[in-house]
Amino acid sequence: MTYKKLVWGAVALVLVGTSSIMLRAAETSGPAASIPLDTVTDYIHAVIQADREIYTKNVVERMQAKGIVVASEDWQVKNTLPLPAQFLIDSAHLVARTTNIRVRLVSLWPINKQNGPATEFERTGLANVISQPDRPHTGFFENGRKWYFQALYSDRAVSQACIGCHNAHPDSPKRNFKQNDVMGGILITIPAAGQ
Ligand code: HEC
């Protein structure tokens, strides 16, 4: 082996060595974590939406169409399935036990009055997602010296079951929902800083 080859070999070894050290460092510490808050709520919303849609289409609608079991509010006593809204609200309560993430279903035409807009943010947010369903309405608020970020996403009638049930429900103030209409919103609240 010539002297030149030895030198190049040593240079190559050092290069490979340093890059693997750098890779290892990136694996453990990662780049500076800075995901925008609206991206975080987009992620949470995507998971909620997927779970809810799959539950509505693949469980509620399928079981109902086959005449096996229906979904109803008093599912615990009637041995029926929970409503999609109850599925979402109950899951959100479970998440709230161990995290600072809050999820709420709201609407200008609520079957359950508790799901009506409770703040100015919810009221203007609902009006905004009705006119622009593809863009969430976002904002910040302070509570007990802590800052929170909120994003309200449109909640659309993704299937026949949504409108069938809401249009027929005795407590529903609106009876003419059509497929794909914005029926309300999904409000996601997260801490705006590490806490
Ligand atoms: C079998 C009946 C039924 C089906 C199917 C159903 N809902 Fe509901 N939904 C309800 C009831 C009842 C409530 C009130 C639940 C509560 O007590 O908070 C509700 C609540 C809601 C709310 C909160 C405002 C309100 O009306 O209280 C929204 C928004 C909503 N549903 C949208 C949807 C969408 C979108 C779908 C389809 C993916 C859907 N619902 C499917 C019965 C139904």
Of all protein residues, whose CA lies closest to atom 3 belonging to ligand 1?
165
Q: Would residue 27 count as lying in a domain?
A: no
Distance 161 CA to ligand 1 centre (A): 10
SS3 sequence, 14-72?
HHHHHHHHHHHHHHHHCCCCCCCHHHHHHHHHHHHHHHHHHHHHHHHHHHHHCCCCCEC
Total tally of structural domains belonging to the chain: 1
Q: Would residue 5 count as lying in a domain?
A: no
Distance 149 CA to ligand 1 centre (A): 25
Q: Would residue 102 count as lying in a domain?
A: yes
Q: Would residue 134 count as lying in a domain?
A: yes
User: Which tens digit of pLDDT belongs to each residue from 92-124?
Assistant: 999 999 999 999 999 999 999 999 999 999 999
Q: Would residue 67 count as lying in a domain?
A: yes
Q: Does the pLDDT value for residue 153 go beyond 70?
A: yes
Find the domain containing 170 and state its range. Answer: 37-191
CA distance 107 to 43: 22
Of all protein residues, whose CA lies closest to atom 35 belonging to ligand 1?
157
Q: Would residue 120 count as lying in a domain?
A: yes
Q: Angle at Cα 192 formed by Cα 187 and Cα 195, nearest 5°?
A: 115
With cut-offs at 50, 70 and 90, classify the pLDDT of residue 3. Answer: low
Which of helix, strand or coil describes residue 136? coil
User: Which tens digit of pLDDT belongs to each residue from 52-75?
Assistant: 989 999 999 999 999 999 999 999
Distance 130 CA to ligand 1 centre (A): 17
Task: State the CATH number of the domain containing residue 115.
Answer: 3.30.450
Q: Would residue 60 count as lying in a domain?
A: yes
Q: Does the pLDDT value for residue 163 go beyond 60?
A: yes
SS3 sequence, 68-121?
CCCECCCHHHHCCECCHHHHHHHHHHHHHHHCCCEEEEECCCCCCHHHCCCCHH
Q: Which single residue is written with the structure tokens 């399928």?
A: 62
Q: What is the pLDDT of residue 31?
A: 76
Neighbour tally for 41: CB within 10 Å:
23
What dihedral do alpha carbons 140, 141, 145, 146 form, nearest 10°? -50
Rounded to the nearest 5°, which phi and psi values hold at 95?
A: -65, -40
CA distance 55 to 53: 5
User: Which tens digit of pLDDT belongs to each residue from 19-36?
Assistant: 554 555 556 677 776 899
State the Rg of the chain over Cα.
Answer: 25
Computed over every residue of the chain, the mean pLDDT equals 88
Q: Would residue 155 count as lying in a domain?
A: yes
Percent of the chain with pLDDT over 90: 75
